[in-house]
Structure 1
Amino acid sequence: MEDEISPESRDLGRALCIITGASKGFGRTLAFQLSCLLKPRSVLMLVARTTEQLNQVKEDIITLYGGQNQLEVRCVQADLEKKDGVEKMVQAAKETSVSDMDHLLLINNAGALDFVIALQKKASLGDVSRFALTFTDPAEVNRYLSLNVSGALSLTAGVLQAFPRRLGLRRSVVNISSLCALKPFPSWVLYCTGKAARDMMFRVLAAEEPDVRVLSYAPGPLDTDMQLQARRSSGDLQLRRSFCSMFSEGQLISCEESGAKLIKLLLDDDFLSGAHLDFYEL
């Protein structure tokens, strides 16, 4: 298959690779796929809100890859909605020691519908069962955006400041985006707004920091807990039916297949910095 990772001897360098939202779903899959493409003595930093799931991912990666390439895997439990969570993550990155590091890779995957699922019992934050005219509480909207937009910007800025431009250091930032950044989905007002804001935020970053390789990658409709929640809770009936049809007809994409396309983009490194690229365009 053309979207499989090529067996040729390409890698992502001796890197500090940071993945947010790494405890499950797409982030977890990327952690495994990237692990075997980092040079010896690289550091893979996994970030999420839940410690137990993170530690399990770490143990599984070390079992599979850690010994053969001397990969150091670190877990950081942090709530990126909050200032202290962002500061904790940035400080953990600063404390890493990667000798002769030639690549800093930050993958902003946290947030999105994972946050909806975590708080669905409260039926408040990022509720895809509701329509735009029901969001009359600014605090509710701000809380969603603080994770998905403010947190991503603050974390990215902090990490790039901690590892400034220098000769021989490649710096890459990936924003896990969505078709929702470009197209309105009824009853998904917060999600679409957050994704659109993030895309523009990273386009601005690419314009301001020409040495930083910036990519917004839309992984397609993944077969994850997020999709399950979308099928169950989307307030727009037509949208819910569309998701259910995709599931029943086997049209959802596996995390592994989509992750392979993202990694090929990173290995080829010939995309326009700041671009929004979709799984179906590759």
Structure 2
Amino acid sequence: MSSVLSGNLGRVLCIITGASRGFGRTVAREMSVLVKPGSVLVLTARSGNELRTLQTELTESEAGMAGLRVETVVADMAQMEGLQNVVRTSEEAFGEGIDHLMLINNAASLGDVSRCVTSFTNMAEVDSYLSLNVSSSLCLTARVLQAFPQRPGLRRTVVNVTSLCALQPFRSWVLYCTGKAAREMMFKVLAEEEPDIRVLNYSPGPLDTAMQVEARTNTADPSIRKSFVDMFDQGQLLTCEASCAKLMKLLLEDNYTSGAHIDVYDV
């Protein structure tokens, strides 16, 4: 409670997946100013150059100069080796005084939105999508929680970046909707099984990112595609910064129901 009252998240080890761009990159920046000196950010993504640029930016920032440590792991989260490297780096970075473990499951892909359900006959294609978007989140979360078990003085928080698509079907978005729904239920189960862990399913809303460009360009269903085009044309997309500010508010206040789905517009 003292960390919340003082406006910070404590001395944190925070793992952020998909941190090289978009929402994940913004989360890393915002997290850096809300943690105490001596905290560690473990940033992972497939893009090494963008990760290293972010690492330099944060290390040279005021937070970095005050003692924030930033580690990067270039990894494909769909591969076991990638998960192992993230956990190993986190274990090595976990220093004395860390009182808050955080895992931000942000990494995700849109999948092929140019086709409808009846075109997905290739099991390997579907398995590949689910491996990156569902299996990797489950296995990384399990490995991280095993590596950092419950103990006195250590808070543990797990955030799943979810979507309205976890709750509502979008025509021609079968892979994305399925992945988000499965992933959200996974974290709801975690919240039931592990009451000491704070679990949040945060839906950041329609963000002005590369994924939105892909949605406006490739979505097969004309009405769904038009809805995204209209949001863009009417200036209704959110910046990553605006949505991330809502996430940080939730984490700082820490009064949400564990496992809940919370939409950016409800904060």
Shorter-chain TM-score bucket reads over 0.9
Amino acid of the structure 2 residue aligned with 1:32: R
Q: 1:221 aligns with which of 166, 182, 206?
A: 206
Q: 1:17 aligns with which of 14, 18, 27?
A: 14
SS in 1 for 2:42: strand
Distance 1:87 1:187 in 2: 34
Is 1:208 matched with 2:193?
yes
Is 1:99 matched with 2:96?
yes
Q: 1:35 aligns with which of 32, 36, 49?
A: 32
Amino acid of the structure 1 residue aligned with 2:70: V
For residues 157 and 240 of structure 1, do their structure 2 counterparts lie closer, same or farther at Cα, with a shift above 3 Å needed?
same
Is 1:235 matched with 2:220?
yes
Q: 1:148 aligns with which of 108, 133, 138?
A: 133
Of 65-74 and 172-181, more deviation after overlay is shown by 65-74
CA drift at 1:84: 1.2
CA drift at 1:60: 1.1
SS in 2 for 1:94: helix
Distance 1:10 1:66 in 2: 15
Question: Which residue number in structure 2 is paired with residue 254 of structure 1?
Answer: 239
CA drift at 1:221: 0.1
Amino acid of the structure 1 residue aligned with 2:248: I
Question: Which residue number in structure 2 is paired with residue 54 of structure 1?
Answer: 51
Question: Which residue number in structure 2 is paired with residue 162 of structure 1?
Answer: 147
- RMSD value, Cα: 1.0
Structure-1-length-normalised TM-score: 0.92
CA drift at 1:100: 1.3
Structure 1, unaligned stretches of length 5 or more?
A: 1-7, 114-125
Question: Which residue number in structure 2 is paired with residue 137 of structure 1?
Answer: 122
Aligned residues of 1:180 and 1:192 also touching (Cα < 8 A):
yes
Q: 1:192 aligns with which of 160, 170, 177?
A: 177
Q: 1:275 aligns with which of 257, 260, 264?
A: 260
- Structure 1 stretches of 4+ with a deviation exceeding 6 A read none
Distance 1:229 1:15 in 2: 34
Question: Which residue number in structure 2 is paired with residue 120 of structure 1?
Answer: none
CA drift at 1:62: 1.7
Distance 1:65 1:28 in 2: 17
Counting aligned pairs with the same residue, the percent is 57
Aligned residues: 263
Distance 2:148 2:34 in 1: 21
Amino acid of the structure 1 residue aligned with 2:82: G
Q: 2:166 aligns with which of 166, 173, 181?
A: 181
Is 1:63 matched with 2:60?
yes
CA drift at 1:50: 1.2
CA drift at 1:93: 1.1
Question: Which residue number in structure 2 is paired with residue 112 of structure 1?
Answer: 109
Distance 1:90 1:229 in 2: 31
CA drift at 1:175: 0.2
Cα distance per residue 1:78-107 (max 9 Å; x no partner): 111011111111111111132211100100
Distance 1:91 1:134 in 2: 40
Distance 2:62 2:144 in 1: 26
Distance 2:7 2:237 in 1: 29
Cα distance per residue 1:140-197 (max 9 Å; x no partner): 1010000110000000000010000001100000000000000000000000000000
CA drift at 1:223: 0.3
Amino acid of the structure 1 residue aligned with 2:117: A
